[in-house]
Each structure stands twice: as structure tokens, then as C-alpha cells.
């Protein structure tokens, strides 16, 4: 399903406030996959991510009388999911078994030797993921919400509980850091090829 625009979400928000289950179902179907992916970034546990998102929608339905359609319902849902994901992490931080991304070793497990170009792209993608993880926490959050979740600055501001200007500053700083890391990576790659 195509990601709904803000006008569509505002329309659903107004209908949900009036206890319209069909509008709630439409919102759920439209945002559920992206919210599960967002929760998974925190939990690294797919069933937990699914439960967190379902519980977040239940909370939304229970508090539907307080929905303000002119405010971003999408940002509100992301904030609920984020907070519940962090709570889940805190409860499971001392688990004895490690929580890992099942897809982490997918390339190694497929039994095929990647070609050189694929290997370089894979190495670059892995480097970008590492660089993003090394960003300061708030920069990383703003960057990921923008680039991976598709939220606009106002929606991110709602999730992070800061101003849109602060969101912009975080994203600009993150992009500058990533650009600098990429340029260094390219220079090192060029030097290695020349050797």
C-alpha cells in the first residue's frame, strides 16, 4: 500500500476521533509496516516489534477522543512506538540470550561468492550503517526518521519533542558527518587501488 499523504492522515484522524472503525483500519493498514520496521530498529526482535505496534494502535483507539486532526497523527504514533520500544528494551536488556538481526548473515549464508562490484557496494552500505550508528543519538534519530521512515521535519519534531529547526540542525549535522566519512572512504579506496 502506498504511504498516505498528510491530508489523508488528517482525514482519517478526524474520522477516528468520531469512532469510525473503517478509518482506523485504513490508518492501521497504511502505517503498520513502516511502524513495525521502526520498532524493529530498536528491539531487533520482530515479534516484539509487531506487538509494540499493535499495542500502540490499541492505545490510539482508546485515546481517540483526544486526537487533534490538525496535529500529525503519524508523528504521534511514531512517538508512542518509540517510547514503547525503548520500554521494551529496558525490560529485556538483561536477557541472557542476545537479540540479533536475523538478516545480518544473509549474504554469507546464501553460498554465492559476490562479484567485485556487489562486494564494494555491500562494503559501502555496511560502512554507511556503521557511520550512522556512530552519529550522536539525536542526530541519528532525526536522520533515520527522515531518510528511512519518510517523516517530514514537523513530524520528526513531534516524535522527538523538539522544534522543526532543531530537527533540521540535527539532519544537516548528520549529513555533513556522513559526507565527510564518505569522502574519506573514497580517498582511502582510491589510494588502495593505486597501490
Between CA 121 and CA 190 the distance in angstroms is 15
What's the confidence (pLDDT) of residue 128?
80
- Find the range with the poorest average confidence among 2-6, 24-28, 83-87, 115-119: 115-119
Which grid coordinates are listed for 160?
Answer: 522527538
Kindly state the cell numbers that stand for 76: 504521534
Percentage of the chain beyond pLDDT 70 is 84
Tell me if 182 is assigned to some domain. yes
Q: 134 lies in which domain range?
A: 114-195
Helix 164-194 with 153-160: angle, nearest 10 deg: 100
Q: Are residues 121 and 146 in the same domain?
A: yes
The CATH number that applies at residue 154 is 1.10.10.10
For residues 144-161, average pLDDT: 88
Percent of all residues in the chain with a pLDDT value above 90, rounded to a whole number:
47
The total domain count for the chain is 2
**Mean of all residue pLDDT scores within the chain:** 82
Beta carbons of 103 and 126 less than 8 angstroms apart: no
Residue 39 falls inside a structural domain: yes
| Most confident region among 92-101, 113-122, 160-169 by mean pLDDT | 160-169
> Higher confidence at residue 90 or residue 30?
30
The SS3 call for residue 146 is: helix
Distances (CA, A) of 61 to 14, 79, 82, 148: 12, 15, 18, 26
pLDDT tens profile 49-106: 999 999 999 999 999 999 988 888 998 999 999 889 888 887 876 553 444 444 333 3
Identify the CATH number of the domain in which residue 48 sits.
1.10.1740.10
Per-residue confidence at 121, pLDDT binned at 50, 70, 90?
Answer: low
Amino acid at each position: 500500500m502506498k504511504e498516505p499523504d498528510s491530508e489523508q492522515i488528517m482525514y482519517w484522524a478526524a474520522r477516528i476521533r468520531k469512532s469510525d472503525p473503517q478509518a482506523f483500519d485504513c490508518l492501521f493498514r497504511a502505517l503498520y509496516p513502516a511502524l513495525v520496521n521502526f520498532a524493529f530498529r530498536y528491539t531487533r526482535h520482530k515479534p516484539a516489534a509487531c506487538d509494540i505496534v499493535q499495542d500502540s494502535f490499541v492505545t490510539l483507539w482508546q485515546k481517540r477522543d483526544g486526537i487533534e486532526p490538525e496535529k500529525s497523527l503519524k508523528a504521534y504514533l511514531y512517538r508512542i512506538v518509540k517510547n514503547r520500544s525503548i520500554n521494551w528494551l529496558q525490560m529485556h536488556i538483561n536477557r541472557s540470550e542476545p537479540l540479533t538481526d536475523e538478516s545480518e548473515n544473509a549474504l554469507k549464508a546464501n553460498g554465492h561468492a559476490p562479484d567485485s562490484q556487489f562486494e564494494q557496494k555491500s562494503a559501502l552500505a555496511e560502512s554507511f550503517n556503521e557511520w550512522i550508528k556512530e552519529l550522536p543519538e539525536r542526530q541519528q534519530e532525526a536522520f533515520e526518521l527522515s531518510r528511512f521512515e519518510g517523516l517530514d521535519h514537523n513530524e520528526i519534531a513531534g516524535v522527538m519533542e523538539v522544534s522543526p529547526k532543531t530537527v533540521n540542525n540535527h539532519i544537516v549535522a548528520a549529513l555533513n558527518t556522513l559526507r565527510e566519512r564518505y569522502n574519506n572512504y573514497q580517498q582511502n579506496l582510491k589510494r588502495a587501488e593505486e597501490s
